[in-house]
Amino acid sequence: MTASEDTKLLASFSPDATRFAFQANASQKNFIDIYPLDPERNYTVNSSSVNRIDFEATDLNLTDVVFQSWCLANSGQDISTKTKRRRGTGEDDEEQELSSTESFLINVFQQGKIVVFSPNGQDILNIIQNKRELLGIDTIGTSLWILDDDKTVKHFTCTSTKPIKTFHLVDGKDEDILDFGLLNFPDVLLISVIVEDIVYIIDPTKRRPSTVAKLEVPGCRTCKVLDDEHVVVAGANSISVIKFKEQSIIHTWELGAKKIDIVDGNIVALGEDGNISVFNAQNPNDVLTVRVENNSIIEFGGIGDRNLVVAWLNVNEPNFEIITSAQLASGQNIVLQQAPQPLLTNHAPDTQVPEQEAAEREKPPSKKTSKTEQDDTSQALIHALATTLDEKVVTELLISNTWSEDRIKEFVHMHLLPSRSNELFVIVSQLLASDVWAESSAIRWWFKWLLRLRAPHLDALQPRGNKEIKALRANLKASSDSLPILLSMQGALEMLRAQAKLRQELSQVALEDADDAEYGSEITYANGEADDFVDALDYKK
């Protein structure tokens, strides 16, 4: 499997299409989202079920990812390891067992590091450190094959750190490798190594691996198995079906592809234009096209060797659609309708229910702080920073309700010594990381103005920053991702409260109307009589 030329977007389906790994902007965001996919729910995904791999917490950088693949446990096979690592928890190693149907993501980083994540992405299952840079990786089941820049092929399992088999390339060893992949034939597993205009097919099962075929295909970039005797080779300008043992080309389509796969005997190719073309060697003149209206397909995968699942972006979020085998066999072009952009709001309705009004009334009135109190707090903090730097005392002074943002800005600019900036920033970072949602704004103001005015003096902002700032970044990312969801939930709850209040008012009105109707049926006024009754004995002129 080769690296994508588009380093900003990462997208891949697991082999069983039960998960989808995605990041729209890997150059700016240091995490990958894992979308669980369920055919019974028509591949619709609830945002709360998405798992996130946070590379920040494991000291990894998403921009260093050069390859991405998946491993899938074979049916009836258990995978276990005693080297489970929990990201950022420091817990003791414990045994982990994976279901035989689970798939898990593999990321290959620069400098030969291979990291295998658990199915939900929350744990690191295994780390393989190769001494040389990797040129390619491919997987089948729990097996993982790599090719490094020493032109060495190595076979691992997804839970092993030492190779099961190792051998050096003979053909292609002095050439630039363009692609490395596995060819899973029914009776044997072969390897394809692609160099400029040539595909070498190698049998790694022998004691001395040897080349079984050399295919000369101009512009070749990737190779897949079609059936027992044929392979499909695709490049920038053509796709060819080749009988590889005889090295003869059966048919060629003048159409380029950046990815190909075989689904239900059909050749499925994703072009640079974001459209999918479907070919069949039995009917080479019939070409079916799958596209999304006003959009581009970013990835596809086969489901059970018959159906096809495609993904495209809708406002930086992936959408999924199933293309059935019947649709593929129909020969009719398929145009998928892009879902309308969801209308999201981060603001709750501007109405207050009785509970909110009561809570507002119960809040104690804010106490105004005098200038003398502000000066006293500033002097106390200056003294604490200049002498013992007692963390407890400094913390109490930092969170004092006497601070305003202007006052904090002035203190950082005028009174904070450069030598004490780093110590104060560490304390502020720890306080903010421990309670991102703190009601008081003082700590956030301290953090803001320390970053703006004292950044050159902060060790945490240097390339080898400390653990506190990394933990803070992770907490801030989690809180910023949760905020829109919490706000939308708050809006929904307040709408339900308003509806309950309205129902209560309507029921009260109905009761009052019923009482009025009952009272009116007993007393009838006529001839202009009014509601005022006067006793004749008490009447005096």
pLDDT, tens digit, 9 for 90 and up, residues 198-237: 999 999 998 899 999 999 999 899 999 999 999 999 988 8
Tokens read off for 150:
């020493």
Distance from C-alpha of 411 to C-alpha of 395, rounded to nearest angstrom: 15
207 vs 474 pLDDT, higher one: 207
- Please tell me the pTM assigned to this model: 0.60
378-403: pLDDT as tens digits: 888 888 887 766 788 888 888 888 88
Residues 327-340 have pLDDT tens digits of 888 888 999 986 54
What's the CATH fold of domain 1-168? Thrombin, subunit H (2.40.10)
End-to-end CA distance of the chain: 111
Q: Can you state the percent helix, strand and coil of the chain, rounding each to 5?
A: 30, 30, 40
Token code pair at residue 204:
């790694």
505 vs 206 pLDDT, higher one: 206
pLDDT at 525 over 70: no
pLDDT number for residue 468: 58
pLDDT of residue 260: 95
Strands (E), 110-247: 113-117, 123-129, 134-140, 143-148, 152-157, 165-168, 179-184, 189-195, 198-203, 210-216, 220-225, 230-235, 239-243
Digit-coded pLDDT (tens) for 139-173: 999 999 999 999 999 999 998 999 999 999 999 98
SS3 of residue 504 by DSSP? helix
One-letter amino acid for residue 363 of the chain: K
The pLDDT, as a whole number, for residue 376 is 82
Paired tokens of 47: 């945002």
Asked if 79 and 142 count as a contact pair (C-beta separation under 8 A), the reply is: yes
Find the helix or strand (DSSP H, E) in which 32 lies.
Answer: strand 31-36
C-alpha to C-alpha distance for 147 and 56, rounded to whole angstroms: 28
- Whole-number mean pLDDT of the chain? 79
What pLDDT digit, counting tens, does each position of 343-382 carry?
333 333 344 444 444 444 444 444 556 778 888 888 888 8
Tokens of 370: 């005098």
Residue 74 has a pLDDT of 54
Which tokens hold the place of 389? 């730097």
Half-sphere exposure for 31 (CA within 13 Å, toward CB): 16
- Lowest mean pLDDT of 2-11, 174-183, 350-359, 476-485, name the range: 350-359
**Tell me: the pLDDT tens digits for 52-87?**
998 888 889 999 999 999 998 754 444 544 344 444
